[in-house]
Amino acid sequence: MELKLLKNIVACCFVQGAHQLPCSFSASSLPLTEENIGSKQKDDAVSGDSIRHKFLTFYASRGHKVLPSSSLVPDDPTVLLTIAGMLQFKPIFLGKVPREVPCATTAQKCIRTNDVENVGRTTRHQTFFEMLGNFSFGDYFKKEAIKWAWELSTIEFGLPADRLWVSVYKDDDEAFAIWSDEVGIPVMRIKKLGDEDNFWTSGVTGPCGPCSEIYYDFHPERGYEDADLGDDTRFIEFYNLVFMQYNKKDDGSLEPLKQKNIDTGLGLERLARILQKVPNNYETDLIYPIIKKASELANVSYVVADDQTKMNLKIIGDHMRAVVYLISDGVVPSNIGRGYVVRRLIRRVVRTGRLLGIKGDGLGNPEGAFLPAIAEKVVELSSLIDPDVKNRAPRIFEELKREELRFVQTLERGEKLLEEKLADALSSAEKNQTVPCLSGEDVFLLYDTFGYPVEITKEVAEERGVSFDINGFDTEMEKQRRQSQAAHNTVKLAMGNGADIAENVSDTEFIGYDSLYAKAVVESLVVNGDPATLASEGSNVEVLLNRTPFYAESGGQIGDHGFLFIQDGEDQPKAVVEIIDVQKSLGNKFVHKGTVREGFVEVGKEVEAAVDVKLRQRAKVHHTATHLLQAALKKVIGSETSQAGSLVAFDRLRFDFNFHRPLLDSELAEIEGLINGWIENATLLQTKVMPLADAKQAGAIAMFGEKYGEEVRVVEVPGVSMELCGGTHVHNTSEIRGFRIISEQGIASGVRRIEAVAGEAFIEYVTARDSFIKQLCSTLKVKPEEVTKRVENLLEELREAKNENSALRAKAAVYKASVIASKTLLVGNSKHFRVLVECLDDVDADSLKSAAEYLMETLPDPAAVILGSSPGENKVSLVAAFTPGIVDQGLQAGKFIGQIAKLCGGGGGGRPNFAQAGGKKPENLASALEKAQSELKRTSDSH
């Protein structure tokens, strides 16, 4: 498992510790210089890339299948991001899908952010890291896992055996004996630990087992007595072995699993730190080149920098790896979910860069973005981690540039807000004769919402003589941290009905590429959520067949609709099941969801499965049109654009793509023209199955979010498009008939969406639009080509009529104002404050404003005017106008009217001398105006 990464759920948390140079390094190493750090990294024998290669090769030579890293965006809905090497194997560990290989090894990209505040502060906390893992699916177990881990560590990587310590679960005598008797580790270097440290569980119930960890000792001179493996100034855990051998039952008891598994994790950056003899993970060749680039942009030397500067550079080095790989895997900055993780990390880098004094793009443009310059170094280092990153580099750079420049503007807004908060604090302190202080909530608001660094807030505040509530800020931070840790930060495993189904039902044979009809046997039934052997008329069912022509939803294409039939026979009556959805579950098992319309269905009976031919054709047309759309987009707006999601439905298609601006009308027209031209060319599609490596070499494009095996299906429109795709497609582009874009819009920062129709849906769309035009022509009594001009004329006439109407309403309101002016009250001790609070019935907001402006021009200073009205059902309009004499007394129209509007279920604001507000509770208007008048009287009496 992964170095305590998923403690209690998928492993344990990283141990925190201070940044300290081990004495074993300081005595024998050369003085720390930029050149020395670089020279350590140039040793190919201990480079990060060589460590990764040696690990994978070691296990490959022992029968393990080398599998690629899965995406940072996991298939598992219980997890926000990929935080463990075992995540892609979770269904196998649960017994929900059969193993394809007996054992495997991977170098998995991982992201964890629950300890983001510790990045740069400790020697080992990271947001992005690589987990090297070897996994056994019921093949080998403890003895092999332990012996291989030891052999790898001491022989392959050459770690001194007397520097290695081991922890085992307190009751795992078997593992203890293997380490001591067979491996030969002295018992004083084997620590027995309890449930919290060395027993891995997947949850309250489910797979679990003891684990064993290997630690490197930086300070063996401290001896064995009282040695604490949790002391990270001395030890670093780099390899964790989980022995998944039990199932934890509801009553807490443990029963042996039928299949015992091995799940391990070796931290690449941690082992690199040990082998490269550097004091922390950041100074390894995996991260330091990024830090060095940031140092150059900041015009500082990492080697001679103080601790604070080094910490800031480490934050940049770590976070830039995370954001580059996340964006490469399709995550774009936003305010929710994964997008928020990316946005938060980017903002941390921008804030930190500004603290270091980085200005501009490093190329002489002081207004430019510096993130792309650092990202270039991340991309340069990525080739052996994820070769797709280099291909996606232009999009990554553009996304980083756009997000950085946008955030810089946010930071500037934060500066203005800080000035307001400081002014309020000083004013409040003077009024209440207290010490000026910024609240913890305000400091956190600046930090979290506006990205304003706490260090800058403190510095600016101290210059102004204002302190801030650091305890209150820490409280707000802790609230956010708890929320972050609770949001999908663990992998949840559970044993349930799915495991039973997996044991009894084989994968579904899909024949739907070649046939829309098949005879099949009912393998399993689920009725209203529970396993069953029979489903009667009216039941909502999930049916698993041994073979099917129905396409299951994947690759953006929705599942087929159709029917399952049982004809009258000697031993069974007629039955009909309407299928309205098909999903893949438990690996490659097709779940047909629908309703029994007639008769009953029973496990083991034969059915005739028939797909709705017309709906399948609509899906095929839209799927092929989606491929053509992506090809056209790349031609028109640039090859760097890439897919960010899709939907292939019966009535339309939807395609999301990365792009930084709305498409022009001319570009949309060009895209439509290209696609309809390809349709007209009547090109035959070619479909092949080939090795994944060959497909990528041929230039095939992968679908966003899809996972691929070693053999892939390639769909090609010769000369136009080539994509990896398991969906259904037309045989000839002419079947698409026609293509029309119906909308183009932004759905997130840097992500656009096109919706379009093709085939029969295109015909329906055009027919409907033609009908609308005919009706419009009939109503306007013009020819189709004259509609636009006629509508423009009508709109101009309407605008003129509205303007005339508004002018008349404004005049009427001013007249009403002149009438009520005589109702002005003289208030205050000196009776020289003029207050006018009135309701003008149904006057609209603009006219109310005109009335207030008239009164301010006619009433002597100082005067305060509050007008209200109810211009419509559930509508309230309010306006406040204060002359300079009122404002000088400390009253502000915006704040005053905002409070009054709350009484009417609304709000508002504006300038100190003039403000408007609205509400939705006219029944409260009279009491709100009374409140306004009493407040104005009270204020005037105090002056």
DSSP-assigned letters across all residues of 688-699: EEEEHHHHHHTT
pLDDT tens-digit map of 652-683 = 999 998 888 899 999 999 999 999 999 999 99
Lowest mean pLDDT of 82-96, 365-379, 719-733, name the range. Answer: 82-96
488 known member of a binding site: no
Q: Is the pLDDT of residue 17 over 70?
A: no
pLDDT tens-digit map of 670-718 = 999 999 999 999 999 999 999 887 888 788 887 655 667 778 899 999 9
Q: Is the pLDDT of residue 488 over 70?
A: no
Pairing of strands 164-169, 190-193: parallel
**Strand locations in 718-804 (E):** 721-724, 739-748, 751-758
Band of pLDDT at residue 571, cut at 50, 70 and 90: low
Q: Which residues contact 725 (CB under 8 A, 6 or more apart)?
A: 555, 623, 627, 703, 713, 714, 715
Lowest mean pLDDT of 323-337, 479-493, 782-796, name the range. Answer: 479-493
Buried b (16+ CB within 10 A) or exposed e, 445-457: bbbeebbbbbebb
Q: 622 or 207, which is more confident?
A: 622
Q: Is the pLDDT of residue 572 over 70?
A: no
Q: Is the pLDDT of residue 45 over 60?
A: yes
Does CATH place domain 616-767 in 3.30.980.10?
Answer: yes
- Give me the pLDDT at residue 810, please: 76
Distance CA 544, CA 565 (A): 14
Band of pLDDT at residue 647, cut at 50, 70 and 90: very high
Q: Is the pLDDT of residue 396 over 70?
A: yes
DSSP 8-class letter at 7: T
Mean pLDDT over each residue of the chain, to the nearest integer = 85
HSE of 554, CA atoms in CB hemisphere, 13 A? 20
To which H or E segment does residue 311 belong?
A: helix 307-328
Answer whether 41-279 and 509-611 agree in fold: no
Mean pLDDT of 735-758: 91
Q: Is the pLDDT of residue 24 over 50?
A: no
Band of pLDDT at residue 504, cut at 50, 70 and 90: low
Does CATH place domain 41-279 in 3.30.930.10?
Answer: yes
pLDDT tens-digit map of 509-542 = 999 999 999 999 999 999 977 888 898 888 899 9
Q: Is the pLDDT of residue 298 over 80?
A: yes
Mean pLDDT of 68-96: 81
627 known member of a binding site: yes
Q: Is residue 704 helix, strand or coil?
A: coil
Q: Where are the domains of the chain?
A: 41-279, 288-481, 509-611, 616-767, 820-941
Mean pLDDT of 544-559: 94
Q: Which residues contact 57 (CB under 8 A, 6 or more apart)?
A: none
Tell me which architecture the domain covering 820-941 has in CATH. Answer: Roll (3.10)
Band of pLDDT at residue 26, cut at 50, 70 and 90: very low
| Distances from the Cα of 96 to the Cα of 412, 493, 521, 555, 726, angstroms | 52, 11, 21, 22, 22
- Give me the pLDDT at residue 186, please: 95
Longest dimension (CA), the chain: 106
Tokens of residue 145, six digits = 């896992």
Q: 393 or 872, which is more confident?
A: 393
- Give me the pLDDT at residue 274, please: 95
Q: Is residue 568 helix, strand or coil?
A: coil
623 known member of a binding site: yes
- Give me the pLDDT at residue 483, please: 56
Distance CA 222, CA 227 (A): 8
Rounded to a whole number of angstroms, the CA Rg of the chain reads: 35
Mean pLDDT of 256-261: 87
Provide the residue type at 533 as one letter: T
Lowest mean pLDDT of 644-653, 810-819, 864-873, name the range. Answer: 810-819
- Give me the pLDDT at residue 703, please: 65
Task: Go through the chain and tell me how many residues it has.
Answer: 943
Count other Cβ atoms within 10 Å, centred on residue 381: 18
pLDDT tens-digit map of 98-139 = 888 999 999 999 998 877 778 888 888 889 999 999 999 999
Q: Is the pLDDT of residue 195 over 70?
A: yes
- Give me the pLDDT at residue 679, please: 97
Band of pLDDT at residue 282, cut at 50, 70 and 90: very high
Count other Cβ atoms within 10 Å, centred on residue 296: 16
In the chain, the percentage of residues whose pLDDT exceeds 70 is 89
Which residue has 């804030």 as its token pair? 351
Q: Is the pLDDT of residue 16 over 50?
A: no
Lowest mean pLDDT of 214-223, 341-350, 426-435, 809-818, name the range. Answer: 809-818
Q: Is the pLDDT of residue 20 over 60?
A: no
Phi and psi torsions of 629, nearest 5°: -65, -45
Distance CA 331, CA 339 (A): 6
Contact criterion met (CB below 8 Å) for 689 and 705? no
Which residue has 């005109």 as its token pair? 850
The pTM (predicted TM-score) of the whole model is 0.61
Tell me which architecture the domain covering 509-611 has in CATH. Answer: Beta Barrel (2.40)
Pairing of strands 833-839, 825-827: antiparallel
Band of pLDDT at residue 27, cut at 50, 70 and 90: very low
600 alpha-carbon distance from chain centroid: 44
Q: Is the pLDDT of residue 907 over 90?
A: no
DSSP 8-class letter at 375: H
Q: Is the pLDDT of residue 52 over 90?
A: yes
To which H or E segment does residue 547 belong?
A: strand 547-548
725 known member of a binding site: yes
Sign of CA pseudo-dihedral 217, 223, 225, 226: negative
**What's the CA angle centered on 916, arms 912 and 919, to 5 degrees?**
135
